Structure 1
Amino acid sequence: MYDIIKNVITSGSYELTDILKKIDTIWLQGALTEEQRTELIELARNSADPENSYAPLQSQIDTLYTNMTEMGKTILSLADKITKMEGGSVMPPETEEYPAWVQPTGAHDAYNTGDKMTYTDGKRYICQMDNCVWGPDAYPAGWKLAEEE
């Protein structure tokens, strides 16, 4: 069995967690010595192809983000249900009408027509165009003072 597993590992055609489980199973069945088990585990870990054994980091991050977002929605929903069951009312989260200016880093977080913000000068502005990444001092045509309404 030792030679068969070693050949599979050296061929590179395996998924790391799968081969590690098989090594342990065969060892528990008594077909491998402790030394052979240790050698095969080390060889498998050192020879593992990340494409077969690990999801790319961005894929892992995306999956975690999706799971956490869904978990957050579920928690909020359950909290609302509990509050209602206990006779309370659910208050929507407060949002500031004119939140502080945040410099956009690209189109994904740019200001759009109708967006409101309080600029660094303390004045309140309403965006007059879509995809605006400039502040009122850099591009005055993109913003209108809220007091002018």
Structure 2
Amino acid sequence: MYEIIKQVILSGDYELSDMLNKIKKNCVRGDITDEQETELIALAREKATPENSYAGIQSQVDYMMELLAETIGTVTGLKQDVEAIKKALEEGGTDIPEPEPEPEPDKYPEYKQPTGAHDAYYKGDGITWKGEKYDCIAPDGVAVVWNPDEYPAYWKKVEE
């Protein structure tokens, strides 16, 4: 486990607080020694990059605006459905229009580097990586922040 964690740290592709938590958990479980823990924590702090470890105010605002836009879109769609039903009832009709079904989300969206456990991938999640589709096969409850090239054990290529 020590070598895997060290490789991820050396790649620079991690979020600092998430990596520090992983190091501590692995030490508590006995997967790494206290000396390895100390070494990995120092290395993680040394190699951490601000763009991966501390989202800037603008990116946080952009993320919140995306969530808000999704919420507004859902509320607007519901409001339109209610208005259509109200209009049909006012006109004395008994045929209530069927609401438009929401499009199903893409099962295999393009891989996006997670910034922490809140947007990590979990068992059963699908991604598209370098034009290929993959299913996450990590153990239940394990947050995956690595792409299939960095940690292939947690990904299974989907054969079409």
Alignment TM class, shorter chain as reference: 0.3 to 0.5
Higher relative CO (CA 8 A, sep ≥ 6), structure 1 or 2?
2
Q: Structure 1 length as normaliser, TM-score? A: 0.46
Q: Structure 2 length as normaliser, TM-score? A: 0.44
